[in-house]
Amino acid sequence: MLGKTKNPGGQSAPQKNKYLVIALLCLPFVLCLYLIFGGSGEQAPATVGGLNFNIPDGRTQNIEGNKQKAMEREQMNEQHDARVRTLAESTFSLSGDTVQAPKREQPQPDQIAQSRNTYRDLTREMNSFYATPRTDPQIAALKKQVAELSAELEQSREKPDPLDYMERSYALASKYLGGQPQAQPQPGATSEKSKDRAA
């Protein structure tokens, strides 16, 4: 009995380590599940069937009902900003005697004239694109020469007639091997050499 001592909890040390490791591994798993499926803390918008039934609170800026009024208001804001800019530019310095003259706005080119000129340029460019090119005699001569050279190349690529090839090879053989070309025998006649060979 003295050899076996039990821990006061009744469990051995390896078994306690096993439970400790399982608990440490389950903790990050549960934390990850909470972050994935737990709420983000934001309330979901109140929608029913894809429609938002929230009532506006009235503190937001109203949308202009008339487009023309909105454009006029925007133009007035731009004019006011332009006046403020010109006042800021025309301020004078107290230390100097010079007063900066306000910069003159350059006159806007007539929009219709500018559009007309652009249309003319585009039309001219399109007409030049579809126009037939001028014929240059040098280019025409070069094209003719290319056609002739390509025709010669095609003729040289064609296979020669086998009969012509055989005639040339016979002429070369008789020139280099036989010395003098002999007259061709008649189809019905036999030469003396062929008779000697047969005997």
Residue-wise pLDDT tens digits, 108-150: 668 898 999 999 999 988 888 777 767 788 888 999 999 999 9
Q: Are 89 and 103 in contact (CB under 8 A)?
A: yes
Most confident option among 7-11, 54-58, 149-153, 191-195: 149-153
Q: Are 117 and 125 in contact (CB under 8 A)?
A: no
pLDDT of residue 77: 93
Task: Kindly state the tokens that stand for 101.
Answer: 């003259």
Task: Kindly state the tokens that stand for 129.
Answer: 């694109």
Residue-wise pLDDT tens digits, 73-92: 899 999 999 888 887 777 65
Q: d(Cα 138, Cα 145) in Å, to the nearest integer?
A: 11
Q: How confident is the model at residue 156 (pLDDT cuts 50, 70, 90)?
A: confident
Amino acid sitting at position 163: L
Residue-wise pLDDT tens digits, 21-58: 999 999 999 999 998 988 666 666 666 677 877 777 77
> Does residue 5 register a pLDDT over 60?
no
Query: H-type helices in the chain, by residue range?
Result: 13-37, 67-89, 111-130, 137-157, 162-173, 192-198
pLDDT of residue 186: 52
Average pLDDT score over residue span 151-179: 85
Domain ranges of the chain: 9-38
Q: How confident is the model at residue 178 (pLDDT cuts 50, 70, 90)?
A: confident
Distance, C-alpha 23 to centroid of its chain: 55
Q: Are 193 and 178 in contact (CB under 8 A)?
A: no
